[in-house]
Structure 1
């Protein structure tokens, strides 16, 4: 008989939680979740209760013996947990709106996980994830931490580099979306498609694409650059690609690569969208309002299809699949964020990478690819440098490290703009622990 599983979800009041619950329900025979603890903070209590009640109705409808608990006490929830999933947003959507709007004033991309916005989400999030890890080490040291809080790659990097905890896996829905997008381009079922993924979170490439085991990368690229086709996400405008460039690149880009390869076009699109509809955070706020009105309905006992509009579809299903594979030692292949361990030659062995792994009961085993193609290697290395310095800034609360991270990010064009954006965003977010240095005076030494 299989041992019952206790799962704790931090950020349990998230609009994504019904997908997580659905995933556990449909896998109950192989993953017998007996306890699901949904944890949130006081500011999220109302949403937690709404989502918790929907989760209980879903479980009751499914007829599975899973007990759903809702609590604001993280430590109470974590005791003897087997898996901990994290899906929280420090500062809520108001903070995301600042991350998106302030850089636009300076003619710089304002995006949740890229450029200045990605840096500040990391600065807010990393101290919280490190506190959670301390609690896990004390209360459930054998548990696996499955993180899909953004920026997922930076968060995973921080845990690996700044703690001794190693049972952490970062997760993202981008690779799943790319695989499903390739299947759609080819007009086939996604289960017939496999992709060789390698890179970083939101900086991952499909090095090859297979249909029934045969490479179809060139065919997918041809369709990708067709004016009638495309592959993107709900939160990223599909502006099309320069066909000859993508053919020359020779690998499948992820939707986030538009920010780096089409910076001017994406910046203009962001400015226009922010002026007409508001920032993505403001759009999401309205979507969430509509979703939670649906969730309140006592007659609703399934995940509503409207959730796919939210932009993070498949996150939770990916988490359920990963947990199922670790628990059952499946040895299947999934793309996750984990320690490189030499899988990508030009990335430090102790850094987090997003790569295909064999999933076992002892965690992900990265599948070595040798090295990335030279055409994409430099950009990936630059982003990894940014992530490492950003992690140091977040842990040390160091103004100079934060400025360095901002300046080396390829979306920020100069040190002067980096400093102006950094100073305004520190003030806007109230991050007073990043002490600004006093203005240095040029002294003449005689």
Structure 2
């Protein structure tokens, strides 16, 4: 029995990840067939560059897929089954500000954690809400799979502002970590691992890892992480993902693990547990944003231009991204009722028994045509509970600040963050961030 072909719009058509998503969609036509693929972006110049290359790729590898790219929301969102959203409001230049402004004050500069994440969240909220409204206006039966950052703040905003929307907020970071775990264990794929995990986006812990037969994988993983973190090798001459900052992040997991050796941590916890280390090892003049612009962005755009000029992608270096595989798996579960077990960001409602029921938590869920059903992770230890409750309040305060246009609430959010040392420093950072975000933030009072 053949599967019904789907219509997908990728919101963020000019993203450096879009071509990789297209490659993954093409690769998975037997599991998730497409009849139509549309790009949507407000930045036509960036989108055109990616779209011209993807048009060549689709003609060569999947000519049955109708392809188009547009800046018109009606055209983009009409006759759509899935919206795959990965937008970056303000682009990489504003990410650079998110990272560099906090560092000036001795505070973690990171795109999703701490002040940088809050600044990015204030820009992302209205844009994601607008995408939901377009979807509901033109294709009300569609699902939105949102992996726009900062996912935790965006998820809280959609819970508050569009509580009935058919949106699932996701993140590929646990998938990336599980891929490293599979390498450490000598497994062919992270899909061989069955896990139990609880927390918030970029803020969680694994409590159980088994293979499909139920064999416990935690002892071997813990022994490796204790010594090397999540890096599959010890030598620094093997840079993870080609960029040194990622190698450091995966290696630093050994120190994060030491804080609670009963669990295995998400790598992003280093920003909350070792902020002094992060700041001490940061280059205030060249942050992760600069790395991305000089490496991934430069490579992808140059390769897209080359593919377009040659009018062939036979020898392209563009590959299907690991986060794209996660998206295809999720869309397939919703479309074809495959009952996948996946980590999603969902309203708690008892999934973590001793945490705020309204918190947007990241836990394993069963995904089918019904949507998602969170699995109960039970009550969690006091250490993790305390950290989660503090961070949940930060995220709620950011969303309240946006909704109420409140300077006070956003100052409180920064002050409460575990990455910020004092209310005085929080205010200095906030005041400077207001200046650079005037084009995107609501006017705070």
Q: Same fold (TM over 0.5)?
A: yes
Q: Deviations over 1:4-46 (max 9, x none)?
A: 31111111111111221122112222322111110111xx322
- 2:54 is matched with which residue? 55
- Structure 1 pair 129–274 and aligned structure 2 pair: CA distance change class (3 A): same
Residue pair 2:228, 2:254 contacting (<8 A) in 1 also: no
- 1:230 is matched with which residue? 231
- Structure 1 pair 431–405 and aligned structure 2 pair: CA distance change class (3 A): farther
Q: Using the alignment, how far apart are the partners of 1:294 and 1:118 within structure 2?
A: 30
- 2:284 is matched with which residue? 274
Q: Using the alignment, how far apart are the partners of 2:176 and 2:119 within structure 1?
A: 25
| Cα drift, residue 243 of structure 1 | 5.9
Q: Does 1:207 align with 2:215?
A: no
- Structure 1 pair 228–417 and aligned structure 2 pair: CA distance change class (3 A): closer
Matches within 5 A, 1:40-439: 40-41=41-42, 44-190=43-189, 191-212=191-212, 213-227=214-228, 230=231, 235-236=245-246, 237-238=248-249, 239-241=251-253, 246=258, 248-270=260-282, 273-275=283-285, 278-287=286-295, 288-298=297-307, 299=310, 300-301=312-313, 304-305=316-317, 313-430=321-438, 435=443
- Structure 1 pair 18–343 and aligned structure 2 pair: CA distance change class (3 A): same
Partner secondary structure for residue 376 of structure 2: coil
- 1:37 is matched with which residue? 38
Extract unaligned runs of 5+ from structure 1: 438-446
Partner secondary structure for residue 226 of structure 1: helix
Residue pair 2:9, 2:77 contacting (<8 A) in 1 also: yes
| Cα drift, residue 398 of structure 1 | 1.6
TM-score (norm 2): 0.90
Q: Which moved more, 1:184-193 or 1:238-247?
A: 238-247
Q: Using the alignment, how far apart are the partners of 1:2 and 1:102 within structure 2?
A: 50
Extract unaligned runs of 5+ from structure 2: 233-239
Q: Using the alignment, how far apart are the partners of 2:439 and 2:380 within structure 1?
A: 37
Q: Deviations over 1:169-223 (max 9, x none)?
A: 1111111112111111222222332221221110121111113421221321110
Q: Using the alignment, how far apart are the partners of 2:79 and 2:444 within structure 1?
A: 42
- 2:237 is matched with which residue? none
- Structure 1 pair 195–380 and aligned structure 2 pair: CA distance change class (3 A): same
- Structure 1 pair 413–143 and aligned structure 2 pair: CA distance change class (3 A): same
- Structure 1 pair 242–4 and aligned structure 2 pair: CA distance change class (3 A): closer
TM-score (norm 1): 0.90
Q: Using the alignment, how far apart are the partners of 1:228 and 1:180 within structure 2?
A: 13
- 1:9 is matched with which residue? 10
- Structure 1 pair 400–230 and aligned structure 2 pair: CA distance change class (3 A): same
Q: Using the alignment, how far apart are the partners of 2:140 and 2:47 within structure 1?
A: 26
- 1:19 is matched with which residue? 20
| Cα drift, residue 156 of structure 1 | 1.5
Partner secondary structure for residue 274 of structure 1: coil
| Cα drift, residue 416 of structure 1 | 0.8
Residue pair 1:112, 1:121 contacting (<8 A) in 2 also: yes
Q: Using the alignment, how far apart are the partners of 1:48 and 1:229 within structure 2?
A: 35
Partner secondary structure for residue 284 of structure 2: helix
Q: Using the alignment, how far apart are the partners of 1:302 and 1:16 within structure 2?
A: 19
Residue pair 2:330, 2:340 contacting (<8 A) in 1 also: no
Q: Using the alignment, how far apart are the partners of 2:418 and 2:360 within structure 1?
A: 19
Residue pair 1:14, 1:88 contacting (<8 A) in 2 also: yes
Residue pair 1:399, 1:434 contacting (<8 A) in 2 also: no
| Cα drift, residue 228 of structure 1 | 8.4
Task: State how many pairs are aligned.
Answer: 427
Q: Using the alignment, how far apart are the partners of 1:111 and 1:405 within structure 2?
A: 16
Q: Which moved more, 1:426-435 or 1:45-54?
A: 426-435
Q: Using the alignment, how far apart are the partners of 2:4 and 2:210 within structure 1?
A: 37
Residue pair 2:225, 2:254 contacting (<8 A) in 1 also: no
Q: Using the alignment, how far apart are the partners of 2:196 and 2:379 within structure 1?
A: 13
